[in-house]
Structure 1
Amino acid sequence: MNRQEQDVLATETEGVRTITLNRPDSLNAINVSLLSQLVRALHEAQDARAVVLTGTGRAFCTGEDLKQTLAPQSGKPDELRRSFELLQEVTRAITRLKAPVVAAVHGYAVGGGAEIALAADLVVLQKGTRIRFPEVPIGHAHTGGITLRLPQIVGLMRAKELLLRGRWIESTEAVALGLAIEETADASARAHELAAELAGQPPRSLAAAKHAIETATFPMQEANLRMEVDAATYCFASIEADAAFEDFKLRGNVAGARS
């Protein structure tokens, strides 16, 4: 299988499906097209034995493309809300896949990009990777289920610190916090190695273990996702959110990207 699309690439080798974010000129920033194609690629991975999630170019994903916005056609709340729901469908699709998902993260994982990565079952970081949740400082809101997932991953107080401050997290600290299982010189190669190992495990056992862990750890995922959409819709109507878009257009750097 070798299927390519403009913003997402999907290939498969020996049961390992590789799904690649493919907007390298924008550091794989999230727009509506990428979200739609990513959701479709994940839904089409139901028969895979394992999935690797990665990105082309210099970054895994730098969050929302603030040059385009997630409501490019009308700019209205209803269109924005549909995009938020698409982002949340990425979280649902990853966590509901029977196959294990390994995220190979390099460069930057910012905002929604970090949320996509942390929905995976295993995360491998390339040395030098930087992670950030910048939503609060720029007047936005988290929309990919991270307000539920992060406290379980790093603990309540540390999750609050990371989400409220929106500071950068270097790869070594990220591994120490439990945001990834390891730091490596080549995240893609290591992720594919792990995925090949998992693809050789009994698929029913893998699916049963994954489902049991997700259900036990995140039983309130649907309620949390609905709450996040409401919060994001509310926050995006603020003066601070508008200012963040204008500031990003002037600066044009990854520090302003978000989910």
Structure 2
Amino acid sequence: MSADYAGDFVRLEVADGVATLRLDRPKMNAISFQVQAELRAAAEQATERSDVRAVVLYGGERLFAAGNDVKEMAELSYPEMVDRSASVQSAVTAVASIPKPVVAAVTGYALGGGCELTLAADVRFAGPDAVFGQPEILLGIIPGAGGTQRLARLVGPSRAKDLIFTGRFVKAEEALAIGLADRVVEDPYAEALGWAKQFAQAAPYALRAAKEAIDRGLATDLATGLEIERQQFAAVFATADAGTGMASFVANGPGKAVFEGR
């Protein structure tokens, strides 16, 4: 496995159609402004590369990320944070906007900005030791990288308010029960890789269309969402993979098509 993008604290490692977007800033993977810039760069490369069909977000065996760099933020005045706040959000948004399946493999703490980064994934696989939380309120602030919005959309507004108002930590089993985690497994990275690898030979433009229809549809009313779906549904008929897939289904049944990615 080679490091195809290598910042000081973020790497994008690609093998067999799957990219691992790895945070590596000892000891706690604190998400500084530099880490945010590197996340944007890695997400851009994952988006652009045709050999990347799916992405795994990973912070290592010990923990995912314990939050944004509070020491760095504590030094900023209000005008300085006004200038920086878009950067705080855009790093997570860049990951959420990768038009491919994205899975977060969560070990240990995923708190504050770390929890917000997991929310940018399409699914979350947690280890038994995983701990999620948005404890910003305990610092006298609020989540600023999408936590108030993505968490509410994922687990519902009342549960999101409970977690954000109290700042309490959520262990793996509770996270699974409320929908904050999708699986609790002994080895979340191995499980995430296995999930991601199933898309290495899938039809990438169909996956892209499905993800865009779901994500854009969630941000609007049902009628508009259905129109987004209709347009994406019709659009994939322009791809060679659609013809290949349907012809293979008619001749051989489902799951036998060999897609070219075009």
Q: Deviations over 1:38-81 (max 9, x none)?
A: 111101111221111101352100112223x1376xx3434433
The residue aligned with 1:105 is 106
* Counterparts of 2:188 and 2:120, CA distance in 1: 17
1:142 Cα deviation after fit:
1.2
* Counterparts of 2:11 and 2:79, CA distance in 1: 29
Q: Deviations over 1:18-55 (max 9, x none)?
A: 11001122x10111111111111101111221111101
The residue aligned with 2:59 is 55
Q: Deviations over 1:95-128 (max 9, x none)?
A: 2211111111110000111001011011110111
Q: Which consecutive aligned stretches of 4+ in structure 1 deviate over 4 angstroms post-superposition? A: none
Name the SS of the counterpart of 1:39 in structure 2.
helix
The residue aligned with 2:15 is 13
The residue aligned with 2:25 is 23
* Counterparts of 1:219 and 1:85, CA distance in 2: 23
Q: Deviations over 1:220-250 (max 9, x none)?
A: 9xxxxxxxxxxxxxxxxxxxxxxxxxxxxxx
Q: TM-score, normalised by structure 1?
A: 0.78
Q: Contact 2:37/2:91 (CA < 8 Å) preserved in 1?
A: no
* Counterparts of 1:211 and 1:71, CA distance in 2: 36
Q: Contact 2:63/2:109 (CA < 8 Å) preserved in 1?
A: yes
Name the SS of the counterpart of 1:153 in structure 2.
helix
Q: Contact 1:133/1:163 (CA < 8 Å) preserved in 2?
A: yes
* Counterparts of 1:98 and 1:118, CA distance in 2: 15
Give the number of the structure with larger relative contact order, counting CA–CA contacts within 8 Å between residues 6 or more apart.
1
Question: What do you get for the CA RMSD once the two structures are aligned?
Answer: 1.8
* Counterparts of 2:9 and 2:220, CA distance in 1: 32
The residue aligned with 2:69 is 65
Q: Tell me the matched-pair count.
A: 216
* Counterparts of 1:207 and 1:57, CA distance in 2: 30
Question: 1:1-259 to 2 correspondence within 5 Å?
Answer: 1-3=2-4, 4-25=6-27, 27-46=28-47, 47=49, 48-56=52-60, 58-67=62-71, 69-70=72-73, 75-219=76-220
Q: Contact 2:134/2:147 (CA < 8 Å) preserved in 1?
A: no
* Counterparts of 1:14 and 1:41, CA distance in 2: 18
* Counterparts of 2:218 and 2:111, CA distance in 1: 24
Taking only the aligned residue pairs, the percentage that are identical comes to 36
Q: Contact 1:16/1:50 (CA < 8 Å) preserved in 2?
A: yes
Name the SS of the counterpart of 1:99 in structure 2.
coil
1:110–1:157 Cα change, 3 Å: same
* Counterparts of 1:66 and 1:109, CA distance in 2: 15
Segments of 5+ residues of structure 1 without an aligned counterpart are 221-259
Q: Contact 1:63/1:109 (CA < 8 Å) preserved in 2?
A: yes
Higher alpha-carbon Rg: 2
* Counterparts of 2:87 and 2:58, CA distance in 1: 19
